[in-house]
Amino acid sequence: MIKLLLKRLAQGALVVFVLETITFFLVRMLPGNPFLGERKLPQHVMEQLNALYGLDQSALVQYFNYWKNILTEGDFGPSLVREGLQVSDIIAEAFPVSLWLGVLGMGIAIVVGIPAGMIAARCKNRWPDVLLMFFAMLGICVPAFVIAPVFGKTLGMHVPGLSVAGWDNPLCAVLPSLTLGLINAAYLARLTRGGMLEVLSQDFMRTAKAKGAGTIRQLFIHALRSGLLPAVSYLGPAFAALITGSFVVETCFQVPGMGLHFVNATTDRDYFLIQGLVLCYGILIVGANLIVDLALVALNPRLRTQGAA
Amino acid sequence: MNWKCAIAVLLLGSLLTACKEQKSSAEKFAEDGILLIGNNSEPQSQDPHKATAVADGKIICTLLEGLVRPSPTEDGAVLPGTAERWEHNDTADEWTFHLNPSAKWSDGRPVTANDFAYAYQRLLHPKFAGKYAEMLYPLRNAENFSKGLCNWEEVGVKAVAPHTLRLSLSGPTPHLLRLLLHYTWFPIPAHKVEELGGMLDRRSLWTRPEHWVGNGAYVLAAHRFNDYLSVSPNPQYLRASELKNKGIRFLPIVNGYTETRMYLGGKLHITNNVPPEMLAYAQAERPSDFCRDPYYCTIFYRLNTSRAPLNDSRVRRALHLAIDREALVNKVVRGAGAPSVTFTPPGAGYAVNAPTEPTTQAEREEEARRLLAEAGYAEGKKFPVLELMTTSRDVQRVMAETIQAMWEKVLGIHVDIRSCEWTAYKSAQQNMEYDISSSSWSGDYLDPATFVELWRSGGGNNCTGWGNPEADAALSAARNTGHAEQRQRHLQQAEELMLHELPILPLYHSQRTYLRSSRHIDGWQPRLLDNFPLDAVLVKP
């Protein structure tokens, strides 16, 4: 187990490093620069700005300086567009908001998605299955930028307490997390249904039934553990994606989270901010995948022997 | 089990409190006298020397006050601000401002002429790299100083006494007072900036709420990135007793659809923008709140005159005449503009004569076909496929498609549309890597020069490759005359020459469409530059 953990950690560190390196050079290859504005800057001003932030040096020198600053001083650099703010401050302010929404959204996704998938599998090809899978398909097909405004317009404006958009009271989190949650619930329901169907058709389930296990016992004690495997693999990356925010949901509900930064920092060419965000996202994805791996080992005894071997 | 109970109680509790309080944010904040205003995007900075966006300007104008301030009753008129009076010589190139001795910074220190000189030195300083330094170029030797070619002592700014500031300009500038309304001319608290890193420190934290010192009607109270920025009254402000509200909360809502929904859901008192697709809906929902005001901004297409066949003025005029601007404004922009064949929007007593053109659209199209044939492309034959570059904004794309269809139908030519994200678009435009580029220009100050000066040969924002020595001469003559009427005539002449050769295709003068609560807001007036002084806005419960 320890060996597996260490191996995965080393792989993860390598992935994050490669990801950050590719990002670093790719963003610098994009046309334009962080200082482009509505008005063209005089040449000498542009040169001074580049010199001030070290962007006049070769990309390689910038690259080494970037890692040096992170490793020696923990400095992720300044925002080049919102001057005076540090990348770490921006992420520290936005991440808790996205984390909170992500946790709520994931909670909703699990509470709605997994039971829906189990019921659908249990009632395969009967009306509850058809109905649930219809809604799951709807959740997958209808994009967030349609669901979010519809929720805002219908629930946000008419249900007392709920907020159409904005972030000025605790209940503002309800609609964005519901949007995030239901979209993920749709995926989870389909994955759970698929996983459960495969398990339910296996011999040991028939044995369990023959031994007189009730529906609840069959589903929860015998089938669920293996049936959840596909859903759990999905949950890790999905969770990392959720807690780093969604551009669409944050734009539609005016939520001050991380998702906005991913898109805005790129269109603004805010180099250090993009790199900081990618680093943060990379670490979270690697971390989430690691947890998934461990969870899968816990759920599936066969993996344990493979891991040991 | 305990934490589950705690969460349940918390959720239930907040649900109950929320259900009890039926009041919307707009109502609650109005009761406290606080204005909730949509402000387009997250501000770049509250430092007047780093900011460049309109959204930044709105905030800075509440936090700092220049020598003069805008009149709340008349657009373009100025009232004494930090300066209580001023005088200038006959040629209007030497101005002396006498500061109000009772003007104070929010920490109680007096505002002195040195604070202004310090601010101008900082913005122009070659080591500071002020993006908007050009705004101060009317000052004598300012441009040379910003390029490191002369000393600060040679620049036309002198604090001759603690409360007397003398500005020497590079030419007669009768419209100087209007320039001074722009935030690049505001003072900054020299003592505070020095305390927190000094003049040239671009990473200085003096604009953070915990350090903020200003001389405007408000002080910076709180700022949460992408959430809100709030300002509260400055008790040290010169006219603190005249403030009409108890604070302002700026919300950086980029998305016009979200903003409009938030307004309708009672989250805002004033919005920044209703997108074209929502105009009819917003108007039907809130007829008494819907506003459509003229805006000092022109939407046009730049033509790259350094490339064939756009180097032929007949081709440019053919493209110009083939566009049905009425249809464009009514169907695509849905009325958020006024069709126009001239560049500078009306305002500041300036109007320009468009070159004589056929009046009906059918005649214009006939003339367009004739010109194109004359240029050697009868019925569009052999005309190369040009590329029309736009940003990825919906309105711009639809507009480009409409014009593409008009040219195809009228002239038989085909253009390809290239839609780029903003920075790539801007980069291509500024480097002239385009054939036709959708563009817009909004004035920095209420004066035609902010538009006409664009077309000086080799000017930084010209980006068309076009230039005309006669027009340049007219622009220089306008700069060198202290006579307001003569100056206008020179500017008109320059613009008429430009319109005659058409390096651009003017499309329409834009209008601001937004929602403003008639129930909660009083005293608001439309402004061409969208710079109504927010301290004069009364917020009613």
How far apart are the C-alpha atoms of A18 and A24, rounded to whole Å?
10
Q: What is the pLDDT of residues B261-312, one digit of tens each?
A: 999 999 999 999 999 889 999 999 999 999 999 999 999 999 999 998 999 9
Nearest CA in chain A to B253: A254
| pTM of the predicted structure, to 2 decimals | 0.91
- What CATH code would you report for B295-512? 3.10.105.10
State whether residue A33 sits within 8 Å of chain B by CB: yes
Say if A253 is an interface residue toward chain B (CB within 8 Å). Answer: yes
Mutate to test the interface with A, among B258, B420, B430 (most CBs of A within 10 A): B258
Q: For chain A, say whether B254 makes contact (Cβ under 8 Å).
A: yes
Looking at chain A, the number of H-run helices and the number of E-run strands are 16, 0
* A42 with B460: Cβ contact below 8 A: yes
**What tens digit of pLDDT does each residue of B482-523 get?**
888 899 999 999 999 999 999 999 999 999 999 999 999 999
* Confidence (pLDDT) at A309: 38
What is the pairing mode between strands B290-303 and B436-442?
A: antiparallel
Topology at the third CATH level for domain B23-42+215-292+513-539? D-Maltodextrin-Binding Protein; domain 2 (3.40.190)
Contact A200, A121 (CB under 8 A): yes
Which ipTM value was assigned to this complex?
0.89
Cross-chain residue pair A32–B22, CB shorter than 8 Å: no
Contact B39, B200 (CB under 8 A): no
* Angle, vertex CA A16, rays to CA A12 and CA A22, nearest 5: 145
Question: Nearest-CA neighbor of A222 among A232, A236, A208, A240?
Answer: A208
| Lookup: tokens for B455 | 């077309």
Instruction: Say yes or no: B47 contacts chain A, CB-CB below 8 A.
Output: yes
Give contacts of A35 with chain B, Cβ < 8 Å: 131
Separation between Cα atoms, residue B301 and residue B305, nearest integer Å: 12
Q: Is B152 on the interface with A (CB under 8 A)?
A: no
Contact present, B158 and B166 (Cβ < 8 Å): yes
Separation CA B256–CA B277 (nearest Å): 10
Of B43, B126, B262, the CB nearest to A166: B262
Residue B515 CB partners (closer than 8 Å, separation 6+)? B260, B263, B268, B270, B271, B274, B282, B286, B289, B290, B291
Q: Which two tokens stand for residue B491?
A: 């500017």
Residue-wise pLDDT for B417-450, tens only, equals 999 999 999 999 999 999 999 999 999 999 999 9
In chain A, residues 115-144 whose CB comes closer than 8 Å to chain B: none
**Reduced 3-state DSSP string for B456-493:** CCCCCCCCCCCCCHHHHHHHHHHHHCCCHHHHHHHHHH
Q: What residues of B are in contact with residue A48 (Cβ under 8 Å)?
A: 126-129
pLDDT at B355: 84
Percent of chain B residues past pLDDT 70, beyond the cut: 96
**Average confidence (pLDDT) over B219-226:** 93
Task: Please state, in angstroms and rounded to a whole number, the distance separating the CA atoms of residues A196 and B356.
Answer: 77
Q: In this complex, do B18 and A171 lie within 8 Å of one another by their Cβ atoms?
A: yes
| Tokens, residue A97 | 């908001």
* B286: phi then psi, degrees, rounded to nearest 5: -130, 70
Looking at residue A152, what DSSP letter applies? I
Domain boundaries, chain B: 23-42+215-292+513-539, 62-195, 295-512
Other CB atoms within 10 A of residue B201 CB = 15
Looking at residue B1, its pLDDT comes to 43
- The Cα–Cα gap between B125 and B114 comes to 16
* Chain A residues with beta carbon closer than 8 angstroms to that of B422: 267
CB spacing of B202 vs A84 below 8 angstroms: yes
CB-based contacts of A220: which residues, under 8 Å, 6+ apart? none
Per-residue pLDDT of chain A (309 residues; tens, 9 = 90+): 788 889 889 999 999 999 999 999 999 999 889 998 888 888 888 998 999 899 999 999 999 999 999 999 989 999 999 888 899 999 999 999 999 999 999 999 999 999 999 999 999 999 999 999 999 999 999 999 999 999 998 998 888 888 899 998 888 999 999 999 999 999 999 999 999 999 998 999 889 889 888 888 888 888 888 899 899 889 888 888 888 888 899 999 999 999 989 989 999 999 999 999 999 999 998 998 888 888 888 888 777 765 443
* CA neighbor of B119 nearest in space, from B187, B172, B58: B187
Residue B474 has phi, psi (to 5 degrees) of -65, -40
| Cα B82 to Cα B104: distance, rounded to the nearest angstrom | 9
Residues of A in contact with B224 (CB under 8 A): 93, 256
For residue A285, give the nearest of A245, A247, A241 by alpha carbon.
A241
Statement: residue B16 has pLDDT above 70: no
Is A161 close to B19, i.e. CB distance below 8 A? yes
Fold that domain B62-195 belongs to in CATH = Dipeptide-binding Protein; domain 1 (3.90.76)
* Contact of A308 with A19, CB cutoff 8 Å: no
- Contacts made by residues B405-411, CB under 8 angstroms, sequence distance 24+: B406/B322, B406/B323, B406/B324, B407/B319, B407/B322, B407/B323, B410/B322, B410/B365, B410/B368, B410/B369, B411/B318, B411/B319, B411/B322, B411/B368, B411/B369, B411/B372, B411/B380, B411/B383
Cβ neighbours of A40 in B, within 8 Å: 430, 460-461, 463
Tokens found for residue B245: 């509200």
Please give the structure tokens belonging to residue B262: 């938030």
* Interchain pair B225, A161: CB under 8 A: no
